[in-house]
Structure formats: C-alpha cells, structure tokens
Chain A
Amino acid sequence: MAHEETAVDDPAGPDLPAADGDDAALVAALRAGDEAAFATLIDRYYATMLRVARMYVATKEAAEDVVSETFLGVIRGIDRFEARSSLKTWLFRILVNRAKTRGEREARSRPFSSLGGELEADEPAVDPDRFRTDGSWATPPSRLPEDEVLAAEAGQQLMAAIDALPPAQRTVITLRDLEGFSGPEVSSLLEISEANQRVLLHRARSKVRAALERYLEERDA
C-alpha cells in the first residue's frame, strides 16, 4: 500500500515514516483515505500535539479533545491542503487554532498570558555560584561522554525535565528540539516575536542541559 512508499529514514523514530520527509506520498495516501498513512501521522505526532495543546487548555482531557478535533480537521481538510507549508506545519497550525478556540471557550485560556512571567523572570542559565567573581568557571561542566548508551538513558531524563518546565518554555523546546521546527516557524505558529521565542528556548534548553549534567554526574558517581 501507499504506506510502504512513505517509509523514509527518520532519526526521530526508527520505525515510523517521517511525515516531513516525504510529504507528497503521505498526502496522497491521506487523500486516498489510507488508514496506515493516517495511523502514521497519529503515531508520529500524537504526544507532541498533546503537549502543545496543554499550553492553551486547562486539562489533559481537553487537550485530548483538541487533538481529536485536529485529526478530524485533517480528514476533512486534506483535500484543501496546498503544500504551501509542510504537512507538519499545517497539522500544528490546525492544532494551535483549535486549542486557542477551546481555551477561549473555557475562558481560562492561558496562552502566553503566563508568558510575561516566563519572560521577565530573572533566570540565569547557570547557577551564578558556579562562577568566580571574575566571571570564569569555578565549577566547570564536565566533558560529554561519547557513548551510545547515553542517548536512550539520558533521553528519558531530558523528557522528564521538559515536562517540569513552565508551559511556554515547554512548548517552545518541544517544537524546536523534539519536532525540529525552525525559530521563525515557531514564532509564527505561536504568534510571538522571534526574540521572545528564543528567550523561551534559551531558558528551556539551559534547564534541560542542567538536567543532563545532573544525570551525567549521578551516572559517574
């Protein structure tokens, strides 16, 4: 079936075809109502979509509804998809629109109402105690080991660190570093400036790096 043709190498998921790697084949399969193609889209993006939706709505259940509505929107709208953006961008644009609408209906929408706090808070990337008074490292980071075991084990620690982030930081790092969206794409999708997008990414990555460092220290202890 068309599903086989969509299978391309994707570093993010060894046994899942990449929706962004070969849009044309996947879109054709989706238009034909190919269930395997649709399942591919679900398996590839479901978790990320839930995480992004959670930024706009109050509960996990509401986020699940938003994701369902988004996939319904894909089924209904795939014939009108014009490939001016990637399928992935189109998918997340539908998601963000639905999540915003739902959040506004709930009248408890927090989309970036909490953003001010996340941007203004004075958060150094690294604990200032780790520097000497001249600004050089007193407690420098250790060199990164080059082993394959690191990937799987540390990955879980990093995901836990992401889940502990404030909502806007969590959303931005998810889109940038998990899904591979560019900075301009994320700022357009979330309707925030590129500079703000980068501040959020900087804070998120700094914290997730600290989690990686803690993991390495514990592992080597």
Chain B
Amino acid sequence: MSREMRCIELVEVVTEWMDGALEDEDRLLLEAHLVTCGSCVAYVAQLRAVPALLRRQPPHRPPAEARAALLDPLRRAH
C-alpha cells in the first residue's frame, strides 16, 4: 500500500466516513487503519455513541402553561 492513514488524520475524516461521503481511496485507508488500531476503534465507538445516546433522550415537553397556550387555537378552531 502506498501510504497509511494516521490516527490524527482519521479523526478529521471520520464524520464523512460515517456519512458514506468519503472518497474510495480514503475510505479504504481508513478501514485498513481500523483493522490494526484499537485506539481509533475506541474513538469511533465513542463518536457513534453520540447520536445513539441522543436519539434515546426523551423529548422535553413544554411547560404546562405554554402547552395550553399552543392548544388554545385548536380548541377555538374546532
């Protein structure tokens, strides 16, 4: 292989990779790097945990007063 991806480079292109937007050459370099680098695997796991944890957050409902005010026009319309 002509060259290898370094850890410091991987952390800058990993979002593109996760989005499937990385060019083939870089994608192959990145994936080859992950086969041998446990630290970068741990980094990617932490990064992947961000959306996974956020998607599990329950939505913050509005305060009762604001909620009632938002529902008011509907009550009047029907």
- What B residues does A136 contact at CB under 8 A? 6-8, 37, 39
In chain A, positions 108-150 with a C-beta closer than 8 Å to chain B are 124-126, 128, 131, 134-137, 140-144, 150
- What B residues does A24 contact at CB under 8 A? none
Q: Is the CB of B6 within 8 A of A42?
A: no
Q: Is the CB of A131 within 8 A of B55?
A: no
Q: Which residue of A lies closest to B13 (CB)?
A: A202
- What A residues does B74 contact at CB under 8 A? 33, 35, 38, 75
Q: Which residue of A lies closest to B20 (CB)?
A: A183
Q: Is the CB of B77 within 8 A of A75?
A: yes
Q: Bound state CA distance, A5 and B73, in angstroms?
A: 24
- What B residues does A194 contact at CB under 8 A? 21
- Separation in Å of the A32 CB from the closest CB of chain B? 8
- What A residues does B11 contact at CB under 8 A? 124-126, 206
Q: Is the CB of B59 within 8 A of A39?
A: no
- Separation in Å of the A154 CB from the closest CB of chain B? 6
CB contact between A71 and one of B40, B50, B70 (< 8 Å): that residue: B70
Q: Taking the complex as formed, is A178 at the interface, i.e. its CB lies under 8 A from any CB of chain B?
A: yes
Q: Bound state CA distance, A162 and B53, in angstroms?
A: 13
CB < 8 Å A-B pair total: 152
Q: Bound state CA distance, A135 and B7, in angstroms?
A: 6
- What B residues does A162 contact at CB under 8 A? 54
Interface centre among B12, B40, B43, B66 (most CB of A within 10 A): B43
Q: Is the CB of B60 within 8 A of A47?
A: yes
Q: Is the CB of A11 within 8 A of B71?
A: no
Chain B interface extent, by class = 35 or more
Q: Is the CB of B70 within 8 A of A178?
A: no
Q: Taking the complex as formed, is A168 at the interface, i.e. its CB lies under 8 A from any CB of chain B?
A: no
Q: Which residue of B lies closest to A157 (CB)?
A: B53
Q: Taking the complex as formed, is B57 at the interface, i.e. its CB lies under 8 A from any CB of chain A?
A: yes
Q: Is the CB of A141 within 8 A of B56?
A: no
- What A residues does B59 contact at CB under 8 A? 12-13, 16, 43-48
Q: Taking the complex as formed, is A3 at the interface, i.e. its CB lies under 8 A from any CB of chain B?
A: no
Q: Is the CB of B42 within 8 A of A143?
A: yes
| Given A72-B73, A209-B50: A46 in contact with B62 (beta carbons within 8 A) | yes
Mark A residues whose CB is within 8 Å of B. Answer: 11-16, 33, 35, 38-39, 42-48, 64, 67-68, 71-72, 75, 124-126, 128, 131, 134-137, 140-144, 150-151, 154-155, 158-159, 162, 173, 176-178, 180, 183, 194, 198, 201-202, 205-206, 208-209, 212-213
5 more A-B residue pairs beyond the given contacts A137-B7, A151-B53, with a C-beta to C-beta distance below 8 A? A12-B59, A35-B74, A46-B60, A177-B51, A202-B16
Mark B residues whose CB is within 8 Å of A. Answer: 6-9, 11-12, 14-16, 19, 21, 37-40, 42-43, 45-47, 49-51, 53-62, 66-67, 69-71, 73-75, 77-78
